[in-house]
Structure 1
């Protein structure tokens, strides 16, 4: 009996190890790339936090509200370009996984055209978003943010306009590289640019004393360098089958691409805008500079740790979709368990670190005693949020892989915007809990969403039926991709 149990445990361990390697093969470089790119703005917050409370609050609200909005829209729109291949191969979503499916469909020559279409869409979107940057100051005042903070934020927004168009070029390039498994090149470029950003930021902000302008210039140079380096690599001749030069074909069927991106856009934007709404609520509290500074430090730390979970989000989305498309529902379910357990392991480590350094971690971002004190008070809520988001992005990845994004988007709206934000506002303004009340509402909304998704995945999902639906999609979209879409 004991030998049999040991044998079963051994097989389970071997199976888990094999699946874990598959997950890490996808998640590893994705995590490094995400961490390096997010850390550019993360480091900017650390630089300006040592300039003053007002500077920290102004840059924080720009990154969270203005740039966060643009970042979400850009990343969603560029995901549309190869969505048809996802349907062809049995997947139900766009985002990072779809470009690789175009390669699998044998349409390498179309990758460069799809990337050009995405550039057109994202650059035009950048032009539409430009007024938000130009008129950021009156817009923030309209949203009842403090006048000193809004005025300084408006100036900073003007200075960082180049970053808006760097986003427009960068996101389609990322999909182009992912489609051809050049993810390690992306990771290396991103890490080198981040190292340059640290050096440049220190030089401009502290050594040369350019302050907020120096921080903006460092960010502009870093994001433009990232986009330019990846562009040079893409057109260097290393992708002869995928990149054949600029083509007028990129101008065709642009409206179809925009329409196809909307489902994916809902899921991504709901996550970004949830934090945006929270920052705006905090900006209406008393002493908003202190409150916004404190919560922005915590939000940026949380989002930085979330890059780990998002790597597993990408991995589990690919694994679930592949296994369902291959008719292996049991393997798809097992992949969810492995990815979730690994992601939670890292979340627990981050939680322990935050709780054990609660009075010290804010000093990485600011030397202002009031901001340090206010930030330290949020450490328990920050730890709770990190723990929840160790599992939530993985669950969203399951939704992406199985094609449930529309249903999950509706559930997210209910949990975040109908329950979480109003509950946080009630605690903050009616019961005078301030920043802690607003964040408590956010945690409550995320917890409710997590519970619902776990229930759906574990108890309401028929994995065999999902595999049959994936097979049906393959049959339905079996023809040439371009003719099917248009």
Structure 2
């Protein structure tokens, strides 16, 4: 790929615009070029999970609570590991694209598949024995039995995660993720139709809802394969290569540090839901808490779009060796995301009391959700800042540092505070949510301080060394691909 092609994808590297307004406008265009498709993809992909929960919630309260246990505890556990380990690919592909090591991006993608597929095999027993696991964790017998059935249906979804997450990271690093947005939108519409058909018309119950989700999620992956293998990524995909099995250990180490970082973050909510399950009225507590998490999580998908943009922009600029542009990209991203966070916080304060009825017909559950509207709004505000800072860390390859921050803020501060307020102070679900907020607030402040104190010139040098260490010349890759494309 020549410099003209890079300019089309990345935008001009050294703009002549010197006034602040012009620089903000140029950076905003770059930001939204990555963030917009990512937001659409995140919202629709997560929307499939929400729609499934909504249909299951209409079947019964026990089914709703069982699905919540699997989605927020087990799926969150497994997805945290896979997504975290896949985030290493974001670092490598983003920096490789900025450094114009285009041919290496396909190699990094294949290495990530090898690592994640091996990991998914190790994680498979968690779904097979999900019912027994939940019983050991002290959950009610009826809930555990229902959840065990739902857990088996999530096995195809786990393998979907492996390919959907890595393909998205590979495409967004080269700003070709618009195709994923279109595929995700089509999949979401298809899921609504299939769920209505299988659950309401054919009355298949839980199996119908889960089959609809499997079909919808895998349709996106198949579309991504067609796009990449069909020749729409000629510079970065040159065919399958045996080089995917070389230098695996360094990829594993970066993947593990990435996995720990995001696992600690995603498991945080799962632990809090588990704590809600030990309350007197466990079904109501879990249902209310899971609905609140799903409401904020759906909005959080927008913030994750900005996380993606922060990761891509920082990684691209570090790969190109431009520390000043990386810093400016962080500032523009933070200001934009925070502005939207304020807007959504106000909206949740105004309409929070009616949102719960989209997930349940139970008045008792709806009242429990309504009592948390102020805390939901505060969570939304914090979530507009924290993901951007996490994206900056991923883009610069500092996942291990953030893992320590997450461990301290979430598990040493957030969860103990939630236990004290929820059980000792008798604030129940509200107390647990307050504990969650305290952990997120402390984490946000810590990441702000770390980002502010970072020597970005040193980060440029680290990115350069990392890319040189794993670099293969195009001729080496081409020779290897001759018999394996």
- 3-state DSSP class of the match of 2:90? helix
Question: 2:32, 2:131 → 1: CA distance?
Answer: 43
Which of 270, 274, 289 is equivalent to 2:264? 270
| Aligned twin of 2:290 | 296
Q: Relative to structure 2, which stretch is displaced further, 149-158 or 68-77?
A: 68-77
User: Which consecutive unaligned segments of at least 5 residues does structure 2 have?
Assistant: 1-17, 474-485
Q: 1:97 to 1:198 in 2, by over 3 A?
A: farther
Question: 1:211, 1:473 → 2: CA distance?
Answer: 51
| Aligned twin of 1:30 | 38
| Aligned twin of 2:175 | 181
Question: 2:357, 2:466 → 1: CA distance?
Answer: 57
> Does structure 2 conserve the Cα–Cα contact (< 8 Å) formed by 1:402 and 1:466?
no
Question: 2:254, 2:61 → 1: CA distance?
Answer: 43
Q: 1:413 to 1:455 in 2, by over 3 A?
A: same
- CA shift at 1:266, angstroms? 1.9
1:119 maps onto 2:110 in alignment = no
| Aligned twin of 2:461 | 471
Q: Relative to structure 2, which stretch is displaced further, 400-409 or 470-479?
A: 470-479
1:409 maps onto 2:409 in alignment = no
1:49 maps onto 2:43 in alignment = no
| Aligned twin of 1:89 | none
| Aligned twin of 1:14 | 22
| Aligned twin of 1:132 | 126
Q: Within 5 Å, which residues of 2 pair with 1:277-316?
A: 277-316=271-310
Question: 1:206, 1:249 → 2: CA distance?
Answer: 49
Question: 2:79, 2:399 → 1: CA distance?
Answer: 20
Question: 1:423, 1:395 → 2: CA distance?
Answer: 24
Question: 1:286, 1:210 → 2: CA distance?
Answer: 32
Which of 50, 55, 60 is equivalent to 2:68? 60
| Aligned twin of 1:195 | 189
1:75 maps onto 2:83 in alignment = yes
Question: 1:148, 1:440 → 2: CA distance?
Answer: 29
Q: Relative to structure 2, which stretch is displaced further, 100-109 or 19-28?
A: 100-109
- 3-state DSSP class of the match of 1:235? helix
Query: TM-score when scaled to structure 2?
Result: 0.87
- CA shift at 1:403, angstroms? 4.5
Question: 2:439, 2:376 → 1: CA distance?
Answer: 14
> Does structure 1 conserve the Cα–Cα contact (< 8 Å) formed by 2:156 and 2:214?
yes
| Aligned twin of 1:344 | 338
Q: Within 5 Å, which residues of 2 pair with 1:85-124?
A: 94-124=88-118
- CA shift at 1:471, angstroms? 3.5
Q: Relative to structure 2, which stretch is displaced further, 326-335 or 252-261?
A: 326-335
Q: Within 5 Å, which residues of 2 pair with 1:213-224?
A: 213-224=207-218
> Does structure 1 conserve the Cα–Cα contact (< 8 Å) formed by 2:310 and 2:395?
yes
1:455 maps onto 2:455 in alignment = no
| Aligned twin of 2:417 | 423
- 3-state DSSP class of the match of 1:71? helix
| Aligned twin of 1:82 | none
Q: CA offsets per residue over residues 434-482 of structure 1, 9 Å max, x none?
A: 1111111000111112223333444xx15xx421452365268546614
Q: CA offsets per residue over residues 374-419 of structure 1, 9 Å max, x none?
A: 1111111111111111111112223334454333221221110001
| Aligned twin of 1:83 | none
Q: Relative to structure 2, which stretch is displaced further, 432-441 or 20-29?
A: 20-29
1:146 maps onto 2:140 in alignment = yes
| Aligned twin of 2:156 | 162
| Aligned twin of 2:480 | none
- CA shift at 1:12, angstroms? 3.1
1:375 maps onto 2:369 in alignment = yes
> Does structure 1 conserve the Cα–Cα contact (< 8 Å) formed by 2:89 and 2:109?
no
Q: 1:399 to 1:119 in 2, by over 3 A?
A: closer
| Aligned twin of 1:90 | none
Query: TM-score when scaled to structure 1?
Result: 0.87
CA RMSD of aligned residues (A): 2.4
Question: 1:64, 1:472 → 2: CA distance?
Answer: 36
> Does structure 2 conserve the Cα–Cα contact (< 8 Å) formed by 1:325 and 1:467?
no
Question: 2:129, 2:355 → 1: CA distance?
Answer: 34
- CA shift at 1:136, angstroms? 0.4
User: Which consecutive unaligned segments of at least 5 residues does structure 1 have?
Assistant: 1-9, 80-93
Question: 1:323, 1:252 → 2: CA distance?
Answer: 27
1:227 maps onto 2:218 in alignment = no
> Does structure 2 conserve the Cα–Cα contact (< 8 Å) formed by 1:317 and 1:401?
yes
